[in-house]
Amino acid sequence: MTRALTLGQDALDRLMPMHLCLAENGAIRFAGPTMQKLLPAGARVAEDIFVEAKGGGTGRVMSRIRAAGPGGRLSLRLRRHRPIVLRGHVVEPGFGELLLNFGFGVSLSDAVAAFGLTENDFAPTELALELMFLQEANRAIQGELARFNRHLMLARQDAEREAHTDPLTGVLNRRGLLAAMRGALDPRGGQGFALIHLDLDNFKPVNDRLGHPTGDRLLRDVAQVLGRMTRSRDHVARIGGDEFVLILGGSWTCQALTGIGQRIIRGIEQVSPGDCGVSASLGIVLSAGYGPDEIDRMLNDADVALYRSKNAGKGRVSVAPLPVDNALRPLPGPR
């Protein structure tokens, strides 16, 4: 047995906040609270609100609504927000008018953004609520993933920096130097550089007479001297014991490099503790003539130039502008 059910406007608004009631001629009778947010100001008929979902012309909206028939499915596009398509159905409530009820479907995100909709604009049983919750959860997950990736990137950068840094002096270690040389010798860089190999003179007596803490302090002071002598684009590395290597970017003359080397020697002599007479011997090579796979050869040539300074009396600068010929290498002498 069936009975007629009469719903008041308040109940209809709660159950179907996206409903729209039209007269047979398309005039708007009333609309649910959410649908009212979608209506353009001054809208009087269905043509003021909708166009056909597939781009039909003006004047065919009511034909499309009538063609859907009672209980039939209907798709219409908002006239002033064309990306948003409403999907719903049509019923005849029995008083000579048409009652339409809509949902957003895949246009939900666009509609929420365009009209500032919240969960209060949908019926509690509306699937749109579930989609909104899923979207909110997805945004939260994406945010957490972004934060996690940032933390991971920073942790990786910290680990890489630590792996390339000498813990005593804070400058690059041998691994960091090799990475810097690979970048400097990359032919795509297009710039030359000078490589300075530096070894302290008379360092051993510092440890023997004054102790290793004093020797460590001197190494840190030397690193600071080298840092003051270089620019932000240059590199300073400690490759073991009292040996340091500098990469000075750009084009250099032998005269300019000799001048820099002499300033480095004076700076180191000024931080020498007591009467130990610590100085430095330098060997310098230019990158011209070296390929990206000749890092070892370049370091070896700088080492040969360094021995020339040692053998010539220490506290000196030797510049080898071109790759050193193996046949001309001097025999290493004492450091």
Out of 121, 221, 234, 242, pick the active-site residue. Answer: 242
10 in catalytic set? no
Cα 95 vs. chain centroid, distance in angstroms?
A: 62
The owner of tokens 């990469």 is 247
Active site residues: 242
